[in-house]
């Protein structure tokens, strides 16, 4: 059985159109029957142009919004039915899946030091942890993401974009999740920093066996990190294959167009 199974997931929105006199509504099929599966430790790359439904899919997977229909099974547990386990258990089960966002500054509390942010995230999983054990865990998390533990006393604004994304990754790891969804985690970073963060995520997969869905509009970035690639178009997965196969022999015209949009490095011009 796959570790993560997404079965015929739909998320539709209703949008009001027309005027006051003649109100009308239109249905947006943001996620329109997505089925995918991941093995433990797999990184799935999800690509597609702006507005194709990538973020809506990730929010529906994370139960940040209620899917219209379909289900999501993570390690045998149906994430769409968490409430059946009761409020308290549902809150704990939610810790099994964490997100990393494009803008780490917006996702970190500007008034909390890094230490407080990590403390809070660790406490959620281990409410009765001793101070000493928690500190040890915080130092370990900082080391995992390549940051010096001494900077934990600082606030998010005192870091660079790349460092902030490392902190956001540490916070996502703190509750020991089974699944991480990263929605455009490197899109706002300089190219040189992008590869550092991608390498960090690959290292974490190797060390911790993390299972991850990595979302990007950039096929080049996804090729670097993903085992398999799913191409999304208008709410549906139109192509799914191992990363190299998608790259070298794409089947769909749309995928070919996405590939041709990847910027090519200019040929060396200087002697
Ligand atoms: N809360 C909402 N209400 C109505 N429509 C929405 C809502 N959220 C998303 N949509 C619509 O669903 C579609 C998919 O949007 P989504 O944000 O998932 O795309 P995306 O692939 O993540 O795009 P981007 O690459 O720009 O982040 C869009 O047409 C969007 O306008
Ligand atoms: Mg998005």
122 assigned to some structural domain: yes
- pTM, whole model, 2 decimals? 0.92
Whether 236 is in the pocket of ligand 1, judged by its Cβ within 6 Å, is no
Tens-binned pLDDT, residue by residue, of the chain (271 aa): 899 999 999 999 998 887 888 888 899 999 999 999 999 999 999 999 999 999 999 999 999 999 999 999 999 999 999 999 999 999 999 999 999 999 888 889 999 999 999 999 999 999 999 999 999 999 999 999 999 999 999 999 999 999 999 999 999 999 999 999 999 999 989 888 999 999 999 999 999 999 999 999 888 899 999 999 999 999 999 999 999 999 999 999 999 998 888 766 555 444 3
82 assigned to some structural domain: no
Domain range enclosing 115: 106-176
120 assigned to some structural domain: yes
Q: How far is the CA of 68 from the centre of ligand 2 (A)?
A: 19
75 assigned to some structural domain: no
152 assigned to some structural domain: yes
| Nearest ligand 1 atom, CA 232 | 21
Counting the structural domains of the chain, the total is: 1
Q: Nearest CA to 99 among 132, 58, 67, 127?
A: 58
Distance CA 213, CA 201 (A): 11
136 assigned to some structural domain: yes
- Pull the structure tokens for residue 66: 């209620």
Do the beta carbons of residue 194 and residue 226 sit within 8 Å?
Answer: no
Q: In angstroms, what CA-CA distances link 134 with 143, 250, 254?
A: 14, 48, 48
125 assigned to some structural domain: yes
111 assigned to some structural domain: yes
Ligand nearest to the CA of 25: 1
């Amino acid at each position: 059985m796959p570790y993560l199974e997404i079965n015929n997931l739909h998320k539709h929105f209703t949008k009001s159109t027309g005027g006051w006199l003649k109100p009308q509504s239109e249905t947006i099929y943001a996620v329109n029957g997505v089925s995918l599966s991941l093995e433990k430790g797999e990184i799935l790359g999800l690509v597609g142009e702006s507005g194709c439904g990538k973020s809506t899919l990730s929010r529906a997977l994370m139960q940040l919004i209620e899917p219209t229909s379909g289900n999501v099974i993570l390690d045998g547990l149906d994430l769409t039915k968490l409430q059946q386990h009761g409020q308290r258990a549902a809150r704990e089960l939610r810790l099994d899946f964490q997100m990393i966002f494009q803008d780490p500054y917006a996702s970190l509390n500007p008034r909390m030091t890094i230490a407080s942010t990590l403390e809070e995230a660790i406490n959620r999983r281990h409410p009765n942890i001793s101070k000493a054990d928690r500190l040890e865990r915080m130092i370990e998390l900082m080391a995992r993401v390549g940051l010096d533990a001494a900077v934990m006393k600082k606030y998010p604004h005192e870091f660079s974009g790349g460092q902030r994304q490392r902190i956001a990754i540490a916070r996502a790891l703190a509750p020991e999740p089974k699944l991480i969804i990263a929605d455009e985690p490197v899109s706002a970073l300089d190219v040189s920093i992008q590869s550092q963060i991608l390498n960090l995520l690959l290292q974490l997969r190797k060390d911790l066996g993390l299972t991850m869905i990595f979302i990007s509009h950039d096929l080049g970035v996804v090729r670097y990190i993903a085992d398999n690639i799913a191409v999304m178009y208008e709410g549906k997965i139109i192509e799914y294959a191992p990363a190299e196969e998608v790259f070298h022999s794409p089947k769909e015209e749309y995928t070919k167009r996405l590939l041709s949009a990847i910027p090519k490095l200019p040929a060396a011009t200087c002697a």
